Amino acid sequence: MREQFPSLIVVVPLAAALLSPFIAYFSKTLVRWLAIAALLVSNISAVAVLIRVLNGGVWHYHFGGWAPPWGIEYVLDPLSATMAILVSFVALVVAIYSGPYVKDYAKLKAGIFYSLFLLLSVGLVGMMITGDVFNLYVFLEISSLAGYTLIAAGGNKATVAAFRYLLVGTIGASFYLLGIGFLYAVTGSLNMVDLAERLLPLLDSRVVIVAIVMIMLGFGIKMAAFPLHGWQPDAYTYSHPAATPLIAGVMGKVPAYAALRFFFFIMPATAGPVHKALQVMGILAAAGIIIGSVMAIAQKDFRRMLAYSSVAQIGYIVVGLAIGNSLALIGGVLHIINHAFMKSCLFVVAGGIRWRTGEYRIDNYMELNKKMPLTMGALIIAALSMVGLPPTAGFFSKWYLVLGAIEEGMWFYVAIIIISSLLNAIYFFRVLENIYMKKAEKEYKDIYKGRKLELPLQMLVPVVVLGIGILVLGIFNESLVTQVIQFAIPGGGL
């Protein structure tokens, strides 16, 4: 049993996804608990795997007992295990949060919702731990297909957003596929460890350069890196509110992690074509950080503001990859983790406010602190973390990024990160000002007078857990870096 933990991470939610439409015929409550239980098993298995790899080193798990060149290999190192924990944890929390939304659904609709939700989680977790580039494509498509459907489930505007994402996302995926096709042509292997060995003498060949560009384009579209982010604001704004925290919080981060794996583990990114390509991506990401932040300031819809802020935050991760020394990579990886928590917390809060009051415009958020104090507390923590104030998690990832940029003498990136922190402060403090400082109009007050507005327990628990999670990540970031991330960065402690 203990030898099979890596497969449990993926297989249990996958089986639950297949079962859930049938179980939904009997009971909606049962299917919800099935989803939560499956994600819990996945999460616990990931924790068990992390404990084992921290003690025993990298674990190459062969799926079904087939050896690597033919079978699928899962590579579990401290980094991928941590990422698997992150994804399954956020998915678990959001599954708890989805309860009140699904309450009024017809049985079959609830079953299909949880089926898609679990498939999305499976795809994302699978991308984190797989050691095979074609298997990565399959998981990418599983998560994307489930993601398109969950976005389209959000209503009439969402269908257009989902259609646009489907077109752009499929083009991105076929670029990625063509890229790994070329890599297969020159190396004859799709296993990441094999590829890393066989690509070394070939790095400057034209085929590999084309493949690098195509793979980078594919991942860039999937993670909504700056010039390729056109699909993202609409998709995050209009997607199904119960799934938005998972989609916005994790779905963009996973391809970013896959790109890190591709360009730093399979290919040496410190020199040669990958280095040059990452420099270009870095400059574009810097532009994206500024433009995304400015666009966020211009938004009136809270969800849309958060979506544009995600464009900027993905930029930080890409900048981390572009700087490329171990400090910046620690910053980038830490930001993947932190931002997954912050963004899902913010979207959980935004969805909760909309669920309770029907409001999504920032101007109408007056005096919400009196109605939902705990939710607003979580919002403050997440907002301060996005701005990057010290005790919260967001500060530390930016700190490592800035240290990395200083070490390389790249002052341009230092300036960008500091300017964008100020811009973050502008748009988040505007929200907080609306909530805490502005007085609500009298009629508005009367409508809500005497009504309990704090979220129901099922939604409140995820809000509080994610809010506290941001603080915990901030306080314990040093042990996270020294125990886990440092060992996982190429040349950073091994």
Q: Rule CB under 8 A: which residues touch other proteins?
A: 134, 138, 141, 145, 148-149, 152, 156-157, 159-164, 166-167, 170-171, 173-174, 177-178, 181, 184-185, 188, 190, 230, 234
Continuous segment of H or E residues that includes residue 62: strand 59-62
Question: CB of 323 within 8 A of CB of 258?
Answer: no
Shortest Å distance, C-beta 83 to other proteins: 24
Shortest Å distance, C-beta 148 to other proteins: 6
Cα dist from 16 to 35, 462, 472, whole Å:
7, 22, 31
DSSP assigned state of 74: E
Q: In terms of CB distance, is 52 or 164 closer to other proteins?
A: 164
Shortest Å distance, C-beta 181 to other proteins: 5
Q: In terms of CB distance, is 57 or 155 closer to other proteins?
A: 155
**Helix, strand, coil percent content, the chain, rounded in steps of 5:** 80, 5, 15
Phi, psi of 59 (to 5 degrees): -115, 115
Q: In terms of CB distance, is 141 or 367 closer to other proteins?
A: 141
Q: In terms of CB distance, is 148 or 265 closer to other proteins?
A: 148
**Partners of 73 in the beta sheet?**
62
CA 120 remoteness from chain centre:
12
Shortest Å distance, C-beta 230 to other proteins: 7
Q: In terms of CB distance, is 106 or 160 closer to other proteins?
A: 160
Tokens of 399: 């700190």
Q: In terms of CB distance, is 37 or 213 closer to other proteins?
A: 213
Amino acid identity, position 341: F
Q: In terms of CB distance, is 163 or 429 closer to other proteins?
A: 163
Q: In terms of CB distance, is 229 or 261 closer to other proteins?
A: 229
Cα–Cα distance for residue pair 270/264, rounded to 1 Å: 8
Q: In terms of CB distance, is 83 or 162 closer to other proteins?
A: 162
Cα–Cα distance for residue pair 26/71, rounded to 1 Å: 38
3-state secondary structure at position 59:
strand
Q: In terms of CB distance, is 171 or 415 closer to other proteins?
A: 171
Half-sphere exposure of 404 (CA within 13 A, CB side): 26
Shortest Å distance, C-beta 217 to other proteins: 11
The strand ranges marked E within 81-198 are: none
Shortest Å distance, C-beta 267 to other proteins: 20
Shortest Å distance, C-beta 188 to other proteins: 6
Tokens of 413: 């990136």
Shortest Å distance, C-beta 239 to other proteins: 13
Shortest Å distance, C-beta 251 to other proteins: 16
**Partners of 75 in the beta sheet?**
60
Cα–Cα distance for residue pair 264/329, rounded to 1 Å: 10
Shortest Å distance, C-beta 159 to other proteins: 5
Which residues 6+ apart lie within 8 Å of 19 measured at CB?
Answer: 34
Question: CB of 344 within 8 A of CB of 90?
Answer: yes
Tokens of 492: 């950073």
Tokens of 422: 């100020």
Amino acid identity, position 463: V
